[in-house]
Amino acid sequence: MNNTRSEKICPHCAAPKMKSWHDLDDEQKFLVERLPRNTEFTREQRKKHRFCERCWFELTDSQETKV
Ligand SMILES: [Zn+2]
């Protein structure tokens, strides 16, 4: 009954599962790389990010440092 929060939840659409870069297939990686709002990230940075497969929100590790 313990609500452990090991899984990341998408802050955008509340999807219960976010994928890491290596969980994505080639088509999904291609799609993520073409997200217009995410052009500031390099592929190396993306490998540390998590992605919502419902709305393709990109969650960065430094998300919590944002105000
Ligand atoms: Zn989402």
pLDDT digits 0-9 by tens, 33-61: 888 766 788 889 899 999 999 999 998 87
Whether 47 maps to a domain, the answer reads: yes
pLDDT at site 13: 95
| C-alpha distances in Å from residue 49, one per residue of 18, 23, 32 | 10, 11, 11
| Ligand 1 centroid distance, CA of 2 (Å) | 24
**What is the Å distance from ligand 1's center to 8 Cα?**
11
Residue 5 belongs to a domain:
no
For residue 25, the CA-to-ligand 1 centroid distance in Å is: 17
> What is the 9 CA–ligand 1 centroid distance (Å)?
8
- Asked whether residue 50 is domain-assigned, the answer is yes
For residue 27, what are the domain limits? 18-65
What is residue 66's predicted lDDT score, i.e. its pLDDT?
45
Residue 9: HSE in the Cβ half-sphere, 13 Å Cα cutoff? 7
Residue 65 pLDDT exceeds 70:
no
Is residue 7 in a domain?
no
4 in a structural domain? no
The pLDDT assigned to 17 comes to: 87
